[in-house]
Structure 1
């Protein structure tokens, strides 16, 4: 019990450190917000009329295009947060602060826990800002409070999973520049899914990939919760992907951190 208490105390200390660091250097946090906002502006105001007309007759389409595209762009805010985690962890590693922490009488788990929890808080704040911007642009969800809680819960689990994977990336990257580049595919994978257009409009091979990659069922679940479209098995598949990615990222990051301590 005492070990758990010490670990929780040290993790809280690391969390405060990372949140203070994020407030002092907000450029990475702003990137998480700015990129999805730019995409939302681009696809709603520049491409919205053409794309909205093209999908209006499809089963998953209909209504204003902002209602269709907003869930995918909001999810993109979660994937963008992966970049900040990878860079932040890598900076600590390359500047030597990790080695200093290893010589101190603190819980070994607290370093990663502080980074991951801090990044989840930052990313969920960014997601809230993107949702607010989407509402100002005309996004009109008709979800009940329970459906809102379910949607935000799913986004939180996804953010946690991507954050653990990004922590592992930060530990293996040789420098912050590499750490910022490796998570880029995660940021743009929602576009090779149903974020912008229904997968029914894609060629067969690309459609198969889009239907079976992790982000499409999550986007469809968010769309169903917020807008009342059919969810089907998407919720179960999307949540399974989130849990699997979270477990893989957690185990990878913890083992990589322990391996670094033995060198």
Structure 2
């Protein structure tokens, strides 16, 4: 546990020192929210204020991007030789990777507050009570945790930070093929099935339902099942690939 806490502190400090990445992680939510609401909102009909519809989607988009950045930190550690120093100090792979993941969660929680703050300023009016806020946060954090571990696996597989960074851009496309920005019924027929049965839609509909005090149905359980499955597979693969890279 002490090794994990040390690694969390280290990764958090590295995040603060990377000013460019820190600014981007905080500015991206603002730019995305303003872009979709003011440039596209007038042309998209969702049956209500577009900011109310799109805010949960922007939340997920920014958390996915932030979680994917975990792979960059892992790839950097694996390519600089610092892993050998950690192992000489009896710091295992679980602690090192866990430090990156937890630092990612901390950064993503911060960006989530930024998104919510900007959304409130431009007209988002959630109707959730305290319990619903906690439920929405729980679903989001579970997904961030799963995607951060998946990004860590990518960081172990790639040979450079540039290759790991490209994964972040690939991951950002996942929320677009969902109910994040437009109702699924407006998508082409062949794409509707994909959008309905991928994890982003379940997470977004859960958060949207909790924050707007609407029926959530099975979306929350489906979203948590996706997160749990991705997390389990990613943790196992991370352990296998770390041993291969470190040996």
Q: Alignment length, in residue pairs? A: 247
CA RMSD of aligned residues (A): 1.3
Name the stretch that deviates more: 29-38 or 111-120. 29-38
1:51-90 counterparts in 2 under 5 A?
51=44, 54-56=45-47, 63-90=48-75
Separation (CA, whole Å) in 2 of partners of 1:121 and 1:48: 30
Task: Indicate if the aligned counterparts of 2:30 and 2:114 stay in contact, CA closer than 8 A.
Answer: no
Shift of 1:32: 2.5
Separation (CA, whole Å) in 1 of partners of 2:195 and 2:141: 22
2:151 to 148, 166, 183: 166
Shift of 1:71: 0.4
What is the match of residue 231 of structure 1?
A: 216
Separation (CA, whole Å) in 2 of partners of 1:189 and 1:103: 39
Separation (CA, whole Å) in 1 of partners of 2:93 and 2:60: 32
Which ranges of structure 1 fall in alignment gaps of 5 or more residues? 1-7, 57-62
1:191-202 counterparts in 2 under 5 A?
191-202=176-187
SS at match of 1:115: helix
Task: Indicate if the aligned counterparts of 1:37 and 1:130 stay in contact, CA closer than 8 A.
Answer: yes
Shift of 1:103: 2.5
Residue 92 of structure 2 is aligned to residue 111 of structure 1: no
User: Looking at CA atoms only, which structure, 1 or 2, has the larger radius of gyration?
Assistant: 1
Shift of 1:114: 1.1
Separation (CA, whole Å) in 2 of partners of 1:156 and 1:202: 28
Deviations 1:74-105 (A, max 9, x none): 11121011232111111111111112212223
1:42 to 35, 49, 52: 35
Shift of 1:68: 0.2
Deviations 1:145-190 (A, max 9, x none): 0000000111111110011001111111111110000232221211
Residue 196 of structure 2 is aligned to residue 211 of structure 1: yes
Shift of 1:225: 0.4
What is the match of residue 13 of structure 2?
A: 20
SS at match of 2:127: coil
Shift of 1:109: 2.1
